[in-house]
A and B are shown apart, each in its own frame.
Chain A
Amino acid sequence: MRGCQNLLVLAHCLSSFHPGTGVSVSYVDLPIQREASTGWPMMQGSGFKGALRHVALGQWKKEEVWAVFGPDPQAASESAGAVRFTDLRVALFPVKSLRKIFAWTTSPGLMARMVRELRAFGFKWIPPLPPEPTDGEALLSPKNQISEGQVLVLEEFAFRVQEEKSVNEIGRWFAKLLFPHETYFREHLSRNLVVVSDTVLSTLLELSMEVVTRIRINPETGTVAEGALWNEEHLPAETVLYGFVLAEEARGKQALRVEEVVEKIKGLAGVVQMGGDATIGKGLLNLVFMEQS
């Protein structure tokens, strides 16, 4: 798209992350956001944009924030923002493993969507697509360290291991972006990424979420305040989300070329805090941006 540049953003959860959707009447009082058609977790683009704008407010001049993210509501008609954000979707999901504590999992459907979007946004460096395992199979790199012979145990499920070289390439693709300086996690992701079927991953994304029960103590009695019991759903730490940022030139009072907008956005990389329960340590994300080239 001439006059625009696209960025891939990977958000690695360093702590549990709660991109909430408000109160629910279901069995989880405070669920996380999910796509209506797949039920897969996500963070809405509007929430990501707002949180990133907040981070930018702490680092840039107000005119630059308005130019890139758009003005405050009272001046909304002055100019549009220079960046657009897609939703953040799950790329890798951590699951308890019998060996090596946990393994990052993904699925062919999830990867196919990500690869399709990478291509459509003009990215050249793209991971390969894995073949499709059956529901009872798990695809692993031949160099993996997490299987027990021909069996892989994730949560309470046992899978037949099928060795597949492309899984190692996919793991290395993510590892290079996420852990350029962290040898342990780079190796763990490269060697021990697991590809399960779309059905299995959907089950894991439904049932293997972190659901935390919380209370509020009555300070006078030292016991639970009446009615103050609720549960919250969180994306577990080590989840990796992906999305895209489309950057254009910034018009209005503070004009910026598209390359300058891209550099400003890339400057926000690093550890930020997003989502709910910020004051109790939730929502610490490491943001990584990658340009099309």
Chain B
Amino acid sequence: MGMRWFRIRPVDVLFFRRPGPFSAGNVFRAETVLPTGLPFVGAFRAEAARVLGINPEALAWGHEMLGGPEDLGRLSFAGPFFEKDEEVLYPRPRILLAEGGAQTGLPERVFLNFPRALFPGIRTNLPPGFGMWRDPERKTVREIDREFVREGFLRKILERGSGEPEEGDLLSNDEVFSLEERVGIRLAPGRRTVEEGFFYEVRMLRLKPGVSFVLGVSGLPEGFPERGVLKLGGEGRLAFYEEREAPELFLSPPRPEEFEGETRLLVVLLTPGVFREGVRPAIFDEEWRFCVGGVRGGVVGVVTGKPLAVAGFDLARRRPRPMVRAVVAGAVFALKLEKPLEREEARELLRELWARPLEEGKVAGYPYGRAGFGLVVCGKPFREALI
């Protein structure tokens, strides 16, 4: 069965616990973080179990359709992403730079940067073949402080390497969500006063009006409803789900003609990536060379932030999951091809590197790729950024 897409809207707030132990003296509140796919995987599996009339606890022993503690059965996921006013938002590619804008009097223009050859005589500890990420020689270039890109605009800049954003094309965190501090106490049953030591702070996630999550799920059982209520994340919070159209980015890749003749490509992570070799996905060998769809080349640059700790709780076996470190969403791998792409090669390359997980298989015993991690798209860098 094809992938079904759902809009997931919290009833009020959500709580996704920051991974890691509670450290007395260091951590004064239970903090929420932006969710990865894991809480959504759990929520949809539990809901699917209910549709099938299975007690969710039975998943501890594995189920052909829904999987078990270390596999997902026939299920696979894409996302989650944010959606605002029914348009999907994706993480900003971390090599997106801007020029112009309000203070310059010129229209703002953004472009996808690309590494340049090292200065002669410079030595680095980068892998052989890696270049340097430098500003193009423009005085008004700056980094972008908005974290999300609207789907239509992302597609445009991936296909062209640049674009002029309109209002709403680039959004900051506070246009999408806020973190709400809540204080809790526990009343002593007999005394009706606060029980000593039972004062706590929790930081919850509240989505802005008009904002929801979007998630793709395939392999759901027959009869899985189009709408309903999910138990999502911690603290017993609830969210509504309803089926929606697939995001445009996932309906079709760009036309191969757009990439014909290119020798440089950018691979952008849409969701955090959990790879066996840390920051290096398995499609790149130890020397950062690749052969994908018959196309050969090498990585000449990577931009990623600090690793994201991904953990969770194995409800079936009632124990924490091993913590893994993910490459953050928005990370970019810059590729240099051995020769210009032919149209058919471009078609094959896009089949492998558009809206698909970059690495399948299990890492630390869990199929993160099928759980929505490591989804990528590819694009072209801005021509004038190149030497």
A residues lining the B interface (CB < 8 Å): 1-4, 6, 21-22, 33, 35-38, 42, 44-47, 49-50, 54, 57, 77, 81, 84-87, 89, 117, 120-121, 244, 246, 278
Which B residues are CB-close (under 8 A) to A44? 182, 184
Which A residues are CB-close (under 8 A) to B311? none
A269–B88 Cα distance when bound, in Å, is: 42
Partner of B187, one of A36, A50, A87: A50
Check B229 against A6 for contact (C-beta < 8 Å).
yes
Given A21-B183, A22-B183, A45-B12; 20 other pairs, CB 8 A cutoff: A1-B50, A1-B229, A2-B50, A3-B50, A4-B229, A6-B229, A21-B182, A33-B182, A37-B209, A44-B184, A45-B236, A45-B237, A50-B184, A50-B187, A54-B189, A86-B12, A86-B238, A120-B240, A244-B238, A246-B238
Check B229 against A120 for contact (C-beta < 8 Å).
yes
Q: Mark each residue of chain B from 216 to 237: 1 if its CB lies under 8 Å from any CB of chain A, else 0.
A: 0000000000011101000111
Which A residues are CB-close (under 8 A) to B240? 117, 120
B residues lining the A interface (CB < 8 Å): 11-13, 47, 50-51, 53, 178-180, 182-184, 186-187, 189, 192, 202, 206-209, 227-229, 231, 235-238, 240, 242, 318
Interface centre among A37, A50, A89 (most CB of B within 10 A): A37
Which A residues are CB-close (under 8 A) to B182? 21, 33, 44, 46
Closest A residue to B199 using CB positions:
A22
A89–B192 Cα distance when bound, in Å, is: 25
A84–B10 Cα distance when bound, in Å, is: 14
Which A residues are CB-close (under 8 A) to B227? 120
A45–B202 Cα distance when bound, in Å, is: 13
Closest B residue to A57 using CB positions:
B189
Which B residues are CB-close (under 8 A) to A36? 178-180, 206
Which A residues are CB-close (under 8 A) to B11? 86-87, 117, 244
A244–B184 Cα distance when bound, in Å, is: 20
Say what secondary structure dominates the interface of chain B.
strand
> A121 CB to closest chain B CB, in angstroms?
6
> A66 CB to closest chain B CB, in angstroms?
12
Which A residues are CB-close (under 8 A) to B180? 35-36
Check B318 against A77 for contact (C-beta < 8 Å).
yes
> B175 CB to closest chain A CB, in angstroms?
11
A42–B232 Cα distance when bound, in Å, is: 21
> B199 CB to closest chain A CB, in angstroms?
9
Check B183 against A246 for contact (C-beta < 8 Å).
no
| Given A84-B236, A84-B238, A244-B11, CB of A121 within 8 Å of CB of B184 | no
Pull 5 A–B residue pairs with CB atoms less than 8 Å apart, ordered by A. A54-B189, A57-B189, A77-B318, A84-B238, A117-B11
Check A38 against B209 for contact (C-beta < 8 Å).
yes
Which A residues are CB-close (under 8 A) to B238? 84, 86, 244, 246
Closest 10 CB pairs of A and B: A36-B180, A120-B240, A84-B236, A87-B12, A36-B178, A22-B183, A86-B11, A1-B229, A2-B50, A1-B228
Which B residues are CB-close (under 8 A) to A37? 178, 206-209
Which B residues are CB-close (under 8 A) to A121? 229
| Given A2-B51, A86-B238, A120-B240, CB of A246 within 8 Å of CB of B229 | yes
> A47 CB to closest chain B CB, in angstroms?
7
Closest A residue to B182 using CB positions:
A44
Interface centre among B12, B192, B202, B206 (most CB of A within 10 A): B12
A85–B235 Cα distance when bound, in Å, is: 10
Partner of A47, one of B184, B207, B237: B184
Check B186 against A87 for contact (C-beta < 8 Å).
no
A121–B229 Cα distance when bound, in Å, is: 7
Check A54 against B187 for contact (C-beta < 8 Å).
yes
Check A35 against B206 for contact (C-beta < 8 Å).
yes
Check A46 against B235 for contact (C-beta < 8 Å).
yes
A244–B231 Cα distance when bound, in Å, is: 13
Which A residues are CB-close (under 8 A) to B206? 35-37
Interface centre among B51, B180, B202 (most CB of A within 10 A): B180
Which A residues are CB-close (under 8 A) to B228? 1
A278–B228 Cα distance when bound, in Å, is: 38
A221–B208 Cα distance when bound, in Å, is: 52
A46–B184 Cα distance when bound, in Å, is: 8
A81–B238 Cα distance when bound, in Å, is: 14
Which A residues are CB-close (under 8 A) to B207? 37
A45–B13 Cα distance when bound, in Å, is: 10
A198–B189 Cα distance when bound, in Å, is: 40
A86–B11 Cα distance when bound, in Å, is: 7
> B228 CB to closest chain A CB, in angstroms?
5
Which A residues are CB-close (under 8 A) to B53? 2
A87–B189 Cα distance when bound, in Å, is: 22
> A62 CB to closest chain B CB, in angstroms?
10
Which B residues are CB-close (under 8 A) to A6? 229
A36–B203 Cα distance when bound, in Å, is: 11
Which B residues are CB-close (under 8 A) to A49? 236
Which B residues are CB-close (under 8 A) to A45? 12, 236-237
> A243 CB to closest chain B CB, in angstroms?
9
> A277 CB to closest chain B CB, in angstroms?
12
Closest B residue to A34 using CB positions:
B180
Check B229 against A87 for contact (C-beta < 8 Å).
no
> B368 CB to closest chain A CB, in angstroms?
26
